[in-house]
Every structure is written in C-alpha cells, then in structure tokens.
Chain A
C-alpha cells in the first residue's frame, strides 16, 4: 500500500510536468544548436563534414516531444521545428519520455544514456558522433559549468573568457533567430 502510494506520488504525479519540460528543453537545444553552428568554429568543423541537406531529429518515443534540424546551404544547422519534411538521415530516439527527462534535466549524461540503452540511433553512426560532439560542445558553452559537468564525460578546457565570449555570442544569436526567425 505504502509502496504503491510512493510509486504513484513519485512517478505518476510528476509526469504531467515532464512532457512540457522535455518539449521546452528540446526547443532550447535545437535553437541553441542552430545558433552555435553559426558562431562556434569547432561545431562548424563538425557540421562541415556532414552531407549537404543532412537532416536529423531527436524525439521521445512513441510520440513525445521532438525537434528536427537540417544542414542548410550556408553550411550551418537550421532548426526546422517539430515536423520532418522527409525521413531524417539520423534519428536520435529516447525510448521513453522519462528517459529524455533524465538527460534533459542533467541527471544522466548523453553517453550514459547510450550506455544504458535509453537512447537509440537510427542512421549512420559516424554522422551521429559528429552530432553528439556538437551537442556536447554547445552544452559546454551555454550551460554553467556546474550543470554542464553533469551532462558531459569531461568538461573541456575552456577559459572563462572563451566561455563568456562564445556563450554570449550563442545567446545573442539565439535571441536574433527567435526574433527574426
């Protein structure tokens, strides 16, 4: 009885909050990655080696929140919203909304999610590795260090100046993209 009560209060009651949180974070990550691909040299180097028109998405199965991105003609990543115009070249799929929540609330890193079989890849692995590195780089730039260390296996060697300058440029670009589309 007590255990059942604990389960329902600990898991089920939190569920309504998880979906909007995951949806919001997916939006932030997608738009953040778009902005980062416009300003950060390391992410640009990763994106450069993806095929033209390359498309990927991240989603929570079976029909949870998602975002879709595509490499545009300028060589940057473009946030396409929640609908893919065709089957993406790479699809990153969380098996359950709760698994997406664990990662996007920084309780579990991306690599750990892969190791725990919570995050599936459908598509070319080499491209996926470039995307994962880009996501890691973006997170290290825009998140406070004490948050980023929870998401990454190793926090990169970043000076405070780099962090503030690059992170600031990404946030500025993110704001511009939100305003002007």
Chain B
C-alpha cells in the first residue's frame, strides 16, 4: 500500500536528476460522534459551539419513518429545544427551497442547523447555512470554489443512509431551476462541525437501499484507493471502510435490526467519505454521474453497475494496487493463498460475487440491461457525458470516447 508513496522516482531529464517525490493534502475537521446513544450528544455539542436554538432540516420520508422523533427525543432533559423543523426537502433540491428554508430559519430566530437525511437534505442544509450565515438572498452569488471566506453557523449532520459520505465532504450541488443549471459550491466552511452516527437512524433502511448505499460507499473507498489522488492517510480510511462493508453488508441483510452491524456500515460510509473527499474518485463516478443524469437512476445503483468493469479497465495499469484490495474484500486467508500476480483479478471477482449476492437477495441490477431503464442507443451519449465529468481526470488510465464506449458495452 505504501509503495507508491515511499518510492522516490529518480528521473533523469536532460541529464538532471529530478528526484520527484509524491505530494498530497489531507483535511477533515469534522468531529465524528458515533455509536450507541450518539444522538443524545447533540445538545452538549451545540452548547460547545455557543448554539441553543437549532433548526432540523429533513424530508417527508425520514420524518414519516419516525427518525426525526429519535433526534427530538435526544433533546429531552437537555434544557434545549429544537426551535423549528422543515421536513419537505425534495429529492432534487433547488435554490428556491433553500431560500424558503433560510427565511424560516431567520423568522424563527434559529442559531444552528441539524440536517437529518441523505444527500439531498445534506446539500440543501449546506445551502441554507450559506444564506443564513452570509445574510444573503441569492445563493448563486456564493457558487464556485473558495467564494466563502468565513466560518458558517454551527452545522450538524445526522445521516439516515450509509452511503453518500456527504457528512464529511466540502461540496454541495443545488439546482437553480429558473436558470436550468446546477450550482456547485466548494469550501472548507461547508464541512459540518459534527457528523452524528447513531445506529437507530439506519435500522429501518430497506434491504435494497441498504445494499445500494453500501455499494456507493464501497465505490468511494475503492476509487479513493485506486485513483491518482490516493495518499497514505486516505488509504487507511479506504481500507477500513472496505473491510467494514465486506464484513457487515450481508450480515445486515440477514439481520436488518443488528444495530452493531448497522453502525459498522454507517462508519464505513463516513470513512469512505473522508477518503474520497481527500483523494477524489475516477471513471466509475464519471460514468455513474452521466447515467444518473441521463436515465435518473440512483447514484448507488450506478456505482454498483460500473465498479468491476472500470476496475478491469484500470487493471493493467493499477494491478498491484487493485490486488491489495483483496485483503479487505476477502480476508487474510484468501489474500495469503492468492499469488501476488493474481490478486487484482481475484479482488474484482470478489466484487462480482458481492454483486451477485445482492442481486439474488434484493434484485440490485448488475448490468445496464438489468436496470430496464437504459437503451443501447443511449450508450454513445453516456460516453460523451462521462468525458466531461471532472472525476475522469483522476482516473489512473486515460479515457477517450472509444474507451468509455467499450466500458459501457461491457457493462451492458
């Protein structure tokens, strides 16, 4: 694992020994509050940040499942109340929704935000935090890289799926419906102050969503480990995340109310999020983002579809690194028994076996044709879109239009 970083490449360049060394950055200031009764830590953590009037932002599904009640219950006997709840965040949030929530926040005199939900709720909450902290009305003014220049209001995230890792990422994407564009926001100030991982919040997640989101986290970790931005610290998070998912996903599907295994998946998702937000992702995400945009398939499903095919595409260039994944994926015995030169292929086969098992248990599609939502004449367009996705630049192997089409054909 460390070979890539400890190696000093001695390149001669017009007779000059350039001695290039690897370089990386790693940053994650999010406090992780995880485990049994984690929710009950929220009031104390808010007080630590001089906040006492939190607003909860969530969606109808999360509230209907009773998950917000767990958070509200955590405020009992705390001397602090949740001042406002907004529970109508749509699956594809917009600047209009953000603006409405920001008004509610101000009208109610809130001083902090607790996002309870998945990717859309978390991104929406990040947008709300920008407006209420900057005292702005037009969210588009703050779009871009590094536009924010000061810390925002106290912001906690309580994930209700174990997959996106948004609780530890510094980005948000929110649609401006009027202008028909998606606004990206990137700033260290968007990182939450704390991520609260409580097994109660994912205990009732249906099997197919559990599987899909776990494969999302698995892909975050695997791409963080195999793509160009990998570094020793994100590698450590990625390997731990892969180990936890490999050991606990099927366990959770067998016993959905196994709180310990649920917590392991939640932690894996956060660890994978920390890994990929520091190392970025590659071609699986380029193809997945395109498929999600064109055919409106869930992100986790897209990741599950493309993962083994992209690893096969990268195998020749990254065989040794992909081979190291066999240890967290299949365990020490299998790793030790597999010759070094065969580990890369064996790791990919293990991922295929996991996907087969998920298909058998909850019909999670493994190919584009199994989704029933993609037509073959869309493949050319998908390939074109993938080339324009930012993550493709971090893929270790160059990808041109023919290459992208070839991977899509294999995934068909």
Does A121 lie within 8 Å of B145, measured CB to CB? yes
Which of chain B's residues have a CB closer than 8 A to the CB of A121? 145, 390
- Residue A165 lies at the interface, judged by CB distance under 8 Å to chain B: no
Contact of A152 among B25, B145, B388, B398 (CB under 8 A): B398
**B contact face: mostly helix, strand, loop, or mixed:** loop
State A120–B13 Cα separation when bound (angstroms).
26
Does A117 lie within 8 Å of B25, measured CB to CB? yes
Closest-CB distance, A55 to chain B (whole angstroms): 16
- Residue A178 lies at the interface, judged by CB distance under 8 Å to chain B: no
State A122–B390 Cα separation when bound (angstroms).
12
- Please count the residue pairs between chain A and chain B whose beta carbons lie under 8 angstroms apart in the complex: 59
Q: Which single residue of chain A is at the shortest CB-CB distance from B394?
A: A115
Interface residue stretch chosen among A18-26, A78-86, A123-131: A123-131
Does B20 lie within 8 Å of A129, measured CB to CB? no
Size range of the chain B interface in the assembly? 20 to 34
Does A107 lie within 8 Å of B13, measured CB to CB? yes
Closest-CB distance, A34 to chain B (whole angstroms): 22
Given A116-B24, A129-B388: A107 and B398 interface contact (C-beta under 8 Å): no
- Residue A112 lies at the interface, judged by CB distance under 8 Å to chain B: yes
Which of chain B's residues have a CB closer than 8 A to the CB of A166? none
Given A115-B229, A115-B280: A130 and B388 interface contact (C-beta under 8 Å): yes
State A108–B11 Cα separation when bound (angstroms).
11
Does A154 lie within 8 Å of B228, measured CB to CB? no
Most buried by A among B11, B23, B146, B229: B23
- Residue A133 lies at the interface, judged by CB distance under 8 Å to chain B: yes
Which of chain B's residues have a CB closer than 8 A to the CB of A153? 396-398
Contact of B394 among A111, A125, A128, A156 (CB under 8 A): A111
Q: Which single residue of chain A is at the shortest CB-CB distance from B390?
A: A125
Does A129 lie within 8 Å of B390, measured CB to CB? yes
- Residue A164 lies at the interface, judged by CB distance under 8 Å to chain B: no
Does A128 lie within 8 Å of B13, measured CB to CB? no
Which of chain B's residues have a CB closer than 8 A to the CB of A108? 20
Q: Which single residue of chain A is at the shortest CB-CB distance from B391?
A: A125
Does B398 lie within 8 Å of A122, measured CB to CB? no
Closest-CB distance, B19 to chain A (whole angstroms): 10
Closest-CB distance, B317 to chain A (whole angstroms): 9
Which of chain B's residues have a CB closer than 8 A to the CB of A105? 13
Does B145 lie within 8 Å of A115, measured CB to CB? no
Q: Which single residue of chain B is at the shortest CB-CB distance from A129?
A: B388
Q: How many residues of A contact B (CB 8 A)?
A: 27
Does A107 lie within 8 Å of B18, measured CB to CB? yes
Contact of A122 among B144, B387, B394, B400 (CB under 8 A): B144
State A111–B282 Cα separation when bound (angstroms).
12
Does A116 lie within 8 Å of B18, measured CB to CB? no
B383-403 residues with Cβ-Cβ distance < 8 A to A are 387-390, 392-394, 396-398, 400
Given A114-B394, A122-B145, A152-B398: A107 and B20 interface contact (C-beta under 8 Å): yes
State A128–B280 Cα separation when bound (angstroms).
17
Which of chain B's residues have a CB closer than 8 A to the CB of A154? 397-398
- Residue A15 lies at the interface, judged by CB distance under 8 Å to chain B: no
Which of chain B's residues have a CB closer than 8 A to the CB of A107? 11, 13, 18, 20
Does A111 lie within 8 Å of B228, measured CB to CB? yes
Q: Which single residue of chain B is at the shortest CB-CB distance from A117?
A: B25
Which of chain A's residues have a CB closer than 8 A to the CB of B392? 129
A110-163 residues with Cβ-Cβ distance < 8 A to B are 111-112, 114-118, 120-123, 125-126, 128-130, 132-133, 150, 152-154, 156
Closest-CB distance, A44 to chain B (whole angstroms): 15
Q: Which single residue of chain A is at the shortest CB-CB distance from B403?
A: A154
State A126–B229 Cα separation when bound (angstroms).
20
**Per-residue A-contact encoding for B170-200, CB less than 8 Å = 1, 0 else:** 0000000000000010000000000000000
Which of chain A's residues have a CB closer than 8 A to the CB of B13? 105-107, 150
Closest-CB distance, B293 to chain A (whole angstroms): 11
**Per-residue A-contact encoding for B230-259, CB less than 8 Å = 1, 0 else:** 000000000000000000000000000000
B272-292 residues with Cβ-Cβ distance < 8 A to A are 280
Which of chain A's residues have a CB closer than 8 A to the CB of B396? 153
Q: Which single residue of chain B is at the shortest CB-CB distance from A156?
A: B400
Q: Which residues of B contact A (CB under 8 A)?
A: 11, 13, 18, 20, 23-25, 144-146, 184, 227-229, 280, 387-390, 392-394, 396-398, 400
Q: Which residues of A contact B (CB under 8 A)?
A: 105-108, 111-112, 114-118, 120-123, 125-126, 128-130, 132-133, 150, 152-154, 156
Task: Give the 10 A-B CB pairs with smallest separation, nearest first.
Answer: A154-B398, A126-B388, A115-B228, A125-B390, A153-B398, A115-B229, A116-B23, A129-B388, A117-B25, A111-B393
Beyond contacts A107-B13, A114-B228: 13 other A-B pairs, Cβ-Cβ < 8 A, are: A106-B13, A107-B18, A108-B20, A114-B393, A115-B227, A115-B393, A116-B229, A117-B24, A121-B145, A122-B146, A126-B389, A130-B388, A153-B396
